[in-house]
Amino acid sequence: MTTILHEERLSTVVAAVAETGARTVLDLGCGDGDLVLRLAGVAGIGRVTGIEIDAERLRRAQTRLAGLPAGGARVQLACASLTQAHSNLAGYDCACLVEVIEHLPLADINRLERALFGGMRPGHVIVTTPNAEYNPVLGVPPHRFRHPDHHFEWDRARFARWGRGVAARNGYTVTFHDICGAHPDLGGASQMAVYRRGDQSP
């Protein structure tokens, strides 16, 4: 993906988080801290926690976060698996997975669902993932993925089937959005699902 698309994706997710009214936010698979840095400066957010399994990326994120100005959100990082529920991460207002699920083996997707939606149960969950239909626009050859570390890339219909199933099984509602471009037939470069737990106000 290009830097322009990456920036657009992050801006879209930050706006979606702000729309939920969340004060506490989890960034699951936070990588080098791109989203954490942006969320830390959003008015109304008081705590941001980034979770990453790759210790080297987590160290890079920690270095970047050292430059945050005082007085913003409280930020913390932790090295942990996304496919295991963590009781100390329960109760967050919103959790984000930005271009993360496609890096997991398909066998781990169900484990992620149980850990996040069944165990930690944040009030809202925001998930983005590549839209496979858009790959030709990016010059990705057929039968190839955008990144060698991707285990899958779903079209919009497949993502929607998965997302609706997750919502139904765990007591959430979900809406879907094309992001990072709007081709009239192919949608955006990425796609976003926004989940709301059933007891949360619309």
Query: Residue 132 maps to which CATH number?
Result: 3.40.50.150
Q: What is the pLDDT of residue 48?
A: 97
What backbone phi and psi angles, to 5 degrees, belong to 156? -65, -35
Higher pLDDT, 27 or 200: 27
CA distance 126 to 173: 12
Contact indicator for 105, 81 with CB cutoff of 8 Å:
no
Whether 9 shows a pLDDT value over 60: the answer reads yes
Q: How many CB atoms lie within 10 A of CB 5?
A: 17
Whether 33 shows a pLDDT value over 90: the answer reads yes
Per-residue pLDDT tens over the stretch 126-143: 999 999 999 999 999 988
User: Is 202 among the domain residues?
Assistant: no
Q: What is the pLDDT of residue 2?
A: 52
Give whole-number Cα distances, 149 to 24, 105, 116, in Å. Answer: 30, 10, 22
User: Is 188 among the domain residues?
Assistant: yes
User: Is 107 among the domain residues?
Assistant: yes
Whether 148 shows a pLDDT value over 80: the answer reads yes
157: left (phi over 0), alpha (psi -120 to 50) or beta: alpha
User: Is 78 among the domain residues?
Assistant: yes
User: Is 159 among the domain residues?
Assistant: yes
What does the mean pLDDT of the chain come to? 94
Domain range holding 105?
A: 3-197
pLDDT-based confidence at 184, cuts 50/70/90?
A: very high
Q: What is the pTM of this model?
A: 0.95
User: Is 173 among the domain residues?
Assistant: yes
Please give the helix or strand (H or E) that residue 31 lies within, else none.
none
User: Is 141 among the domain residues?
Assistant: yes
Per-residue pLDDT tens over the stretch 65-89: 888 887 788 999 999 999 998 899 9
pLDDT-based confidence at 166, cuts 50/70/90?
A: very high
Whether 1 shows a pLDDT value over 50: the answer reads no
Whether 157 shows a pLDDT value over 60: the answer reads yes
Total structural domains within the chain: 1
CA distance 83 to 81: 5
User: Is 142 among the domain residues?
Assistant: yes
Mean pLDDT of 25-32: 96
Per-residue pLDDT tens over the stretch 96-107: 999 999 999 999
Q: What is the pLDDT of residue 68?
A: 84
Name the burial class of residue 142, with classes exposed (0-12), middle (13-18) and buried (19+) by CB atoms within 10 angstroms of its CB: exposed
CA distance 50 to 31: 8
